[in-house]
Amino acid sequence: MSFILDHIVLQVGKDVVIGDVSLTLEAGTMNVLLGPTLSGKTTLMRVMAGLDRPTSGRLLADGVDVTGMSVRKRSVAMVYQQFVNYPTLTIYENIASPLRVQGLPKAEIEARVARAAKLLRLEPMLQRLPAQLSGGQQQRTAIARALVKQARLVLLDEPLANLDYKLREELREELPRIFAETGAILVYATTEPTEALLLRGKTATLWQGRVTQVGPTASVYRQPDNLDAARVFSDPPLNELALTIAGGTVRLESGRTLPAEGGLATLADGAYRLGFRSDAVTIGAAQPGRLGFPGKVAVTDINGSESFVHVEVGHGGAGPVGTTWVCLVDGIQEWLPGDTVEVQLDPSQIFVFGADGQRLDAAAAPQLGRERRTVSASA
């Protein structure tokens, strides 16, 4: 089966909720919709399911236009972040309910329910009511109900958000395999870049109701086409630095200047924005080939074997500095707010975006220089 979204637009009043989205989804594939809250992920899924009708555009299933087809006539299953179960039915009957509607034989219903219950660790709970289960167990029930339907299009809207960490990690590995065995198209919505990378497959980044990039997940992460895609696929948030180049001189947002050297010297005069993730920035002594910036620690987030250090970069002038970068540092670090540090930026991991927000390709924007410089100006 193939499922195509052909220039889908959904407008509510004067507001464009979904703007000109085109996607092609193939059978047996994992497709991730990655975007922040209110970026349009759930709305786009509702359009795909037939719950909302687009203002314009078409939905094609194996070449057949299903845009106006009732959701009851579609081979689709959807699981929301907030689980939905029938409160008066046992867990067994909740899972079996779509199969009874289809009129399947009792033996097949029992076999499908048993398999789904085993995969989702619900076997001891099949005779309980939903109110007797935890939130995570109820969400697993909703996923099991979607699984037994063997639908050709399965839509999962942040389905693991309410599960405990260990089960969430296990299901991230299991779900693509489970549904791929049925040949279904799996569409998974998430706000977490890390989850998208773990699920692999293809990822479409969404920003304000528009798809900003689509492609193999690792490629979209490593080579964002534009600033919006880079921002969506960065957690912690993308570090940024705006600058202009004119006559061989770089001018930073603060008004300070420095010579355009290394890769910066290859850029035409104009406005640019540099973007780089936390793993491109470290704290410590000068390192060969890195750009150094002075800064002060704002806060440190300890995350197991790593620490994310938020640093206010640059301290020129009398006023406070408005640019804060997040630096990834190995180990548990306990810098205190106000501690003076030097930030080391790896030029090879910098994305260069033009004034239109599009990333310059490698030929137009090579590495920004291999020599080490300390920029004392405020960023």
Name the residue with higher pLDDT: 360 or 265: 360
What contacts 72, CB < 8 A, 6 or more positions away?
A: none
Q: Give the model's pLDDT for residue 135.
A: 82
> For position 365, what pLDDT does the model report?
44
pLDDT at residue 340 tops 60? yes
Residue range 369-374: mean pLDDT, rounded: 42
The mean pLDDT value of the chain amounts to: 87
For position 86, what pLDDT does the model report? 93
Q: 180: which DSSP letter? A: H
More confident residue, 209 or 264: 209
Residue 372: beta bridge partners? none
Place of tokens 């991230």: 172
pTM (whole model) above 0.85:
yes
* 33-47, 84-98, 142-156, 283-297: least confidently modelled range: 283-297
Give the single-character DSSP code of 15.
E
What is the average pLDDT across 89-99?
96
pLDDT average, residue stretch 186-201: 94
CATH 3.30.1950.10 fits 2-232, yes or no: no
| pLDDT of 378 above 60 | no
Residues of the chain with CATH 2.40.50.140: 239-374
Residue with tokens 């594939």: 29
Closest C-alpha to 320, from 295, 299, 344, 343: 295
DSSP element (H, E) containing 137: helix 135-149
> In this predicted model, what pLDDT tens digit does every residue of 103-136 receive, in sequence order?
999 999 999 999 999 988 899 999 999 999 988 8
pLDDT at 75 over 60: yes
- pLDDT of 306 over the 60 cut: yes
Region 293-317: mean pLDDT is 83
| pLDDT value of position 325 | 93
Query: How confident is residue 265, by pLDDT bands cut at 50, 70 and 90?
Result: confident
For 46-52, which contacts have Cβ atoms below 8 Å and span 24 or more sequence positions? 47/5, 47/8, 47/10, 47/18, 48/3, 48/5, 48/76, 48/153, 48/155, 48/187, 49/74, 49/76, 49/78, 49/153, 49/155, 50/74, 50/76, 51/78, 52/10
- Burial class of 35 by CB neighbour count within 10 A (0 to 12, 13 to 18, 19+): buried
Per-residue confidence (pLDDT) for residue 322, from 0 to 100: 60
Report the percent of the chain where pLDDT is more than 70: 92
Residue 51 reports pLDDT greater than 70: yes
Find the mean pLDDT for residues 141-154: 91
| CA–CA separation, 240 and 105 (whole Å) | 59
Which residue would you say has higher pLDDT here, 316 or 287?
Answer: 287
Least confident of 25-34, 59-68, 299-308: 299-308
b/e string for 245-257 if b means 16 or more Cβ within 10 A? Answer: beeeebbbbbebe
Residues of the chain with CATH 3.40.50.300: 2-232
- Report whether pLDDT(95) > 80: yes
Q: Assess contact for 32 and 193: CB atoms under 8 A.
A: no
Angle at 170 between CA 151 and CA 134, to 5 degrees: 80
The CATH superfamily holding the domain 239-374 is Nucleic acid-binding proteins (2.40.50.140)
| Residue 368 scores a pLDDT above 70 | no
Provide the pLDDT confidence category of residue 370 given band limits of 50, 70 and 90: very low
